[in-house]
Amino acid sequence: MQTSPTTQETAGTQEKNSKKDQASLLQQLTTESQNEASQGFDTKSALDIARIINHEDSKIAAAVKKALPEIAQVIDQVARSLRDGGRLIYIGAGSSGRIAALDSSECPPTYSTAPGQVQYIMAGGPKALASAVEVNEDSEELGQRDIARRRPTRKDIVVGLSASGRTPYVVSAVAYARARGAKTAAVTCNHDTPLAAAADIAIVADVGAEVVSGSTRMKAGTAQKMVLNMITTGAMTRLGYVYENLMVNVHMQNSKLVERGIRILMSACKIDRPTAVETIKSAGRSVPVALVMLKARVDKPEAVRRLAKSDGNVRLAIEDNVLEL
C-alpha cells in the first residue's frame, strides 16, 4: 500500500531541491568558476603568483569600461539626489559591504560632505567590517529591516553591491527601497542577476573567474572599488566641488590638508604662497571661499553669498550663474 508523503517530508524535499537549485545557479556564475590561467596556483613561485594575479588584474579596467554608460547614469542621479537634499546609501555584505563602507567614509574628508549625505549599510552591522558575519547576507528580512531603518524616500538613491548579484540581503533591501520611491542601482560582476532586476540601473563589470576561485575580494572587489570611485568622484565634480581638476572642497583639519589647500589655491589662481596663505586666512580657512574671492575679485561676504546661491558649486559661484543647476 502506497502512502502519501507527510507535510514535513514534502517541506524537506522542497528545501533539498531549493539548495540544489541554488548550488546549480552558483556554479553558473563567472565569479565562482575556476580560472584556467591559475591552474596549479599553489605550486607556483612567489614571482609567478604575482605575475598571474597582475595579468588577471589587467582585465578589470576593460570590464568596467563596458559599464560606463550605466555608471554615468548613476553619477547624474547621485548628483541630483544630493543636490535635492537626498542621500546616497550603499548597501552590501562581506567584501562588497566593506568596499561600500570605505567609499562612504572617504567622502566627508575628501569633499567636506555632511556625514549623513553618503551612507553605508553593512550586513551584520559595523562589527562585520572587521569580523566575519557573512551568515547575515542570506537573510531577506534583515536586508529589508536595515534599509527600512533609514526610511528611504524619492530623494534618495540606494546602491546595492554584490559580486554575485544574488545576495538575498542586498536584493531585498534594494527592492524595498525602490518600492518606497527611491532611485536604485546595482553594482555586480555577473549578468542577468536578481540584484540587477531589482534595481533601476544595473552596473555590471564582468571581470571573469577569480585567480582563487570564489575569492571575490580580488578582481570583483577591485572592479567594485573602481566603480564607486567613479560614482562619488563624478557626482561631487558635477556638484561643483571640483574646480578644473582640483579638489577645492577640501576640509583643512590637519597640517597636511592645510598645505594641500594652499597648493590648490596657488595652482588655481597662479599666485604665490604668501598671497594664498593670507587669502585662506581672510576666507575663514575655506578654500572654496578663497577661490571665489580671488577668481571673481570679490570680498568674503560676497563669495559666501555666491556659494550659497550656487549650492556650493565653485565654478558657478565664480561666474555668479546658477542657471546650469
Q: How far apart are CA 25 and CA 189, in angstroms?
A: 14
The count of domains in the chain is 2
CATH number at residue 291: 1.10.8.1080
Beta bridge partners of 121: 91
Give the distance, in angstroms, between the CA of residue 219 and the centroid of all CA atoms in the same chain: 16
pLDDT at position 227 is 98
What number of helices (H) and strands (E) belong to the chain? 14, 5
pLDDT at position 26 is 60
Taking a C-beta distance cutoff of 8 angstroms, is the pair 312, 249 a contact? yes
Residue of 76, 78, 84 whose CA lies nearest to 104:
78
pLDDT at position 39 is 86
Residue of 137, 113, 114 whose CA lies nearest to 125:
137
140 and 180, same structural domain?
yes
Q: Is 302 tagged catalytic?
A: no
271 and 230, same structural domain?
no
Strands (E), the chain: 88-92, 118-122, 157-161, 183-188, 201-204
Residue 246 maps to a domain: no
pTM of the full structure: 0.85
pLDDT at position 219 is 93
Full domain range(s) for residue 174: 60-238
β 157-161/88-92 pair status: parallel
Identify the three-state secondary structure at position 101.
Answer: helix
pLDDT at position 22 is 52
pLDDT at position 25 is 59
Q: Is 137 tagged catalytic?
A: yes
Q: How far apart are CA 138 and CA 168, in angstroms?
A: 5
264 and 186, same structural domain?
no
Q: How far apart are CA 121 and CA 296, in angstroms?
A: 41
Active-site choice (9, 36, 134, 137)? 137
Beta bridge partners of 120: 90
Active-site choice (106, 140, 302, 319)? 106
126 and 205, same structural domain?
yes
Q: How far apart are CA 304 and CA 44, in angstroms?
A: 61
pLDDT at position 36 is 80
The tens-digit pLDDT sequence of the chain (325 residues) is 444 555 455 444 444 444 444 555 566 777 777 788 888 888 999 999 999 999 999 999 999 999 999 999 999 999 999 999 999 999 999 999 999 999 999 999 889 898 899 999 999 888 888 777 666 788 899 999 999 999 999 999 999 999 999 999 999 999 999 999 999 999 999 999 999 999 999 999 999 988 898 888 999 999 999 999 999 999 999 999 999 999 888 877 778 888 988 999 999 999 999 999 999 999 999 999 999 999 999 999 999 999 999 999 999 999 986 444 3
228 and 164, same structural domain?
yes
| Full strand arrangement of the beta sheet holding 157-161 | 118-122, 88-92, 157-161, 183-188, 201-204
Residue 35 maps to a domain: no
198 and 271, same structural domain?
no
Residue 55 maps to a domain: no
Identify the three-state secondary structure at position 190.
Answer: coil
85 and 171, same structural domain?
yes
Q: What does the block give as the cell for 134?
A: 557573512
Boundary-marking domain end, from 184, 209, 238: 238
Identify the three-state secondary structure at position 246.
Answer: strand
Strands (E), 118-169: 118-122, 157-161
pLDDT at position 6 is 52
- Give the residue ranges of DSSP H helices in 112-216: 140-148, 168-179, 194-198
Taking a C-beta distance cutoff of 8 angstroms, is the pair 106, 120 a contact? no
220 and 298, same structural domain?
no
pLDDT at position 127 is 85
